[in-house]
Chain A
Amino acid sequence: MTKKILCIEDDEVMINLISRKLSQEGYEVHIARDGVEGLEMIKTVKPDLILLDIVMPRMDGMEVMEKINEDEEMKKIPIVIISNSGQPVEIKRIKELGAKDWLIKTEFDPKEVIEKVVKHIK
């Protein structure tokens, strides 16, 4: 069965690149452009893994994780954060909120994203 990955990301270029890469790898990719949309899609799509950006309009990644933590079912879905800044404060918060792993966009390339996805997806 094809694994479903929900990518919550607002940058169009990134969405295109990631979805393309993941599709090539054989995953079913769903896209949400902000946190609000992302949360709704988690419920409808029920993904096997979430790729989550932090800085987004309407609802940022942190808030999304807070909401996920409130729901027992959603909490089970592994989350990999795709972050821009990688500041220590941010990393600390990400860990606290239960993200499995994180990627700093400027330091990782698409190949490594796939590696992380493979590592954490059930």
Chain B
Amino acid sequence: MIKFNLQFKLLISVVFIVLFSLFCFGYLSIRNQKTLAEDLFLDSAIALLQTLDAGITNRADLEDVEKLQTKVHKIIWLNPNITNITISLPIDEELIIVASSNVTKIGLPASLEEVSSYRTGELFTKILSAQDESQLLKVVTPVHVSGQKVGVYGLTLSLDTLERNVKNISFQFSVGILLTTIFIVVVLSIVIRTAVISPVKKLQEGIEIIGSGNLDHIISIHKNDEMGDLSIGFNNMTEKLKDRTEALAREKSSLEGKIKKRTSELESIRFEESEEMKKTSGALLNMLEDTDNAKEQTEKERDKTLAIITNFTDGLMVFNNQDELSLINAEAEKIFNIEAKNVINQSLGDLKNESSFNLLAKIIGRSWNSIFREELNIREDLVLEVSVINILGEKEEGGHLVILHNITREKRIEKMKTEFVSIAAHQLRTPLSAIKWTLRMFLDGDLGKVSKEQKGFLEKTYQSNERMISLINDLLNVSRIEEGRYVYRLDTVDIAKMTQILINAQKVNAEKRGIQLEYDMPKKKSPKIKVDEEKIGLAIQNLIDNAIRYTPKGGKVSVFLKNKKEGLEISVKDSGIGIPEDQQKRIFTKFFRATNAMKIDTEGSGLGLFIVKNIIDAHKGKVSFKSEKNKGTIFSIVLPKEK
């Protein structure tokens, strides 16, 4: 198809081009030929008229009409192309035909063309159409005699011959064109076939052969043109393709070898590994299961923790390290009569504007670190105990946990308890006081004379009574400690001054026992610390009391204060019996008494140091001692300074 199409198209194009150019050329040639023939015709007509004119040399020739008529006939006879010839002369101001090949016209006036030619004296030509549609050429020229115009010749020529000639020429030309065209087409088709079509066909066949896999095929077009170049290029390409294909085949076979080898290796490995894989996947599944379990566990834990926080009976609020409220539980919402969604993520500063929050925000806002069980009266019927705990993250401070413990009920109970204690103290102490005062008055002789023996009994009774009083005092203190509400009132206290007062109170007692009591009141002002004055007083007093009690006559008890980095240290040193090493660990236990102490003094309750320890612990302080049996003991209390 391609082959036919190409050849066909080429031929059609060539035929059209040749036909078109030949027709153009032929048309122009024929036209040219026709004009040329017409000119020749005209020239011959003029020549005829000149011949006629040459015969007329004088006027006499014109007057001989018969002679003129003969001449006219002669010309017509000689020239078959001339259809008519006339000679017109002016007669009485009018141009009259005097001689004519058409006899009927003699004596008639001349035509318009003849009149105008006579007047202007110029040659006049005109093509006329005859009645039978044949073309006629009319030539009119003036008749001169001795250089003077005397009349007009009129000549009418038939152009039929001319037309016929032109037609003949055109026909011959067309035949020539047709023959030439056929020749060119034949020649061209042969040329195209040999130069283009057959090489293309060869190329096509070659491509088909090469395409079917025969890369050894060589396309042989030995031509010194583009087709030749194309075939060379194609052959080169085929060669390269062949090389590549071979290389590919080599590669493929080597790859196949490798793949086979690898496959067999893999199969063996797979066989070995399948067992391992089974184990591994089993382990992995177990791990996944474990992870799932752990996740579930963690979620459970988280839910549990959240549930605990949410349902915690104390109000809980968590502030992050930017002091923004990040969590608030239901109880806290209830306490402040607020909704979590309205306050969450608000900063402490913003919360101060919430009326119900105001009081709390005020105390929290002071300082995060200094809040230790602060009481807060939110309303008449709502008392809170506010505690702030620093949440310590692994790396940085994670924020603060604010615990709001509703102590309204405890407060009420506490009040009742205070009343109860007061009543109990009254009930117990009143008789004890009465006994004490009665015995005292007996001993002082206010109630009459007492014998020495009686006085001895009274003295012992008085001591027993004193012990009972002190025991009741200790028991009351212990019961308060165990209620967990022992330290109430934190005030800034001058410990040095307070110690001086305690020392003064003990002086008489020490003197009575023959013990030297020393106190170096520091000259420098000791740092002020916030403590419960009464309780710290009691603790120091207990230590001094013990020191005096367990130091033999002639011994020495000294009290000194030291301002240390970690706080204020109060030490009570004695030269007493000491604490046996094996009992030192239990010395702060309730009701515990060292064996050597019991031998010396049977009165002790074993509550003194227990109370001391509790008081100091409640102040976040430290109490320690160093003791050597029979040499002495030094007790030291360290109270942290206010930050």
Contact = CB atoms under 8 A, between A and B. Distances in A.
Contact of B534 (A24, A88, A105): A88
Range class of the A interface residue count: 20 to 34
B422 A105 contact: no
B418 A110 contact: no
B437 A14 contact: yes
B438 A55 contact: no
A1 interface: no
A55 B423 contact: yes
A21 B429 contact: no
Contacts of A13: 431, 434, 437-438
A55 B418 CA distance: 13
Contacts of A21: 441, 446
Contacts of B423: 55
Given A21-B441, A24-B446, A88-B534, A106 B421 contact: no
A44 B167 CA distance: 183
A90 interface: yes
Contacts of B473: 106
A109 B436 contact: yes
Nearest to A55: B426
| Most central of B421, B426, B431, B469 by chain A CB within 10 Å | B426
From A20, A88, A106, name the one whose CB has the most chain B CB atoms within 10 angstroms: A106
Given A55-B426, A84-B426, A20 B441 contact: yes
Nearest to B488: A88
Contacts of A118: none
Nearest to B422: A85
Contacts of A106: 429, 432-433, 436, 469, 472-473
B334 interface: no
A109 B465 CA distance: 12
Given A89-B418, A106-B433, A17 B438 contact: yes
Contacts of A85: 421-422, 425-426, 429
Nearest to A14: B434
Contacts of B425: 84-85, 87
B144 interface: no
A26 to B, nearest CB: 13
A53 B561 CA distance: 39
Given A55-B422, A85-B421, A87-B422, A14 B447 contact: no
B437 A109 contact: yes
Interface string A55-66: 100000000000
Q: Which of B437, B438, B469, B488 has the most CB of A within 10 A?
A: B437
B489 A14 contact: no
Contacts of A55: 422-423, 426
Interface string B412-425: 00000010011101
Nearest to B432: A106
Nearest to A85: B425
B530 interface: no
A110 B447 CA distance: 12
Nearest to B444: A111
A16 B595 CA distance: 43
B440 interface: yes
B430 interface: yes
Contact of A110 (B444, B489, B534): B444
A88 B429 CA distance: 17
Contact of A87 (B421, B431, B432): B421
Nearest to B439: A109
A40 interface: no
A19 B293 CA distance: 84
- Determine the main DSSP class of B at the interface with A: helix
A109 B435 CA distance: 10
B489 A88 contact: yes
A24 B434 CA distance: 18
A11 interface: yes
Contacts of A87: 418, 421-422, 425
Contacts of A24: 446
A109 B434 contact: no
Contacts of B440: 109-111
Interface string A83-121: 011011110000000000000011101110000000000
A20 B444 CA distance: 13
Contacts of A20: 441, 446-447
Interface string B461-472: 000000001001
Interface in A1-30: 11, 13-14, 17-18, 20-21, 24
A55 B433 CA distance: 14
Given A14-B434, A88-B534, A89-B418, A110 B469 contact: no
Nearest to A24: B446
Given A89-B418, A110-B446, A84 B441 contact: no
A84 B476 CA distance: 13
A14 B430 contact: yes
Interface string B591-632: 000000000000000000000000000000000000000000
Contacts of A109: 436-437, 440
Contacts of A17: 434, 437-438, 441
Contacts of A14: 430, 433-434, 437
Contacts of B429: 84-85, 105-106
Contacts of B434: 11, 13-14, 17
A122 B423 CA distance: 34
B357 to A, nearest CB: 30
B463 to A, nearest CB: 13
A90 B430 CA distance: 16
A107 B534 CA distance: 16
Nearest to A56: B426
Contacts of B447: 20
Contacts of B436: 105-106, 109
A11 B430 contact: yes
A13 B489 CA distance: 36
5 contacts: A20-B441, A84-B425, A106-B429, A109-B436, A111-B440
Given A17-B438, A85-B426, 12 more contacts: A14-B430, A14-B433, A14-B437, A18-B437, A20-B447, A84-B422, A84-B430, A84-B433, A87-B422, A105-B436, A109-B440, A111-B444
Interface of A: 11, 13-14, 17-18, 20-21, 24, 55, 84-85, 87-90, 105-107, 109-111
When A and B form their complex, which 7 residue pairs have the shortest distance between CB atoms, in order from nearest?
A105-B433, A13-B434, A109-B440, A85-B425, A106-B469, A84-B426, A84-B429
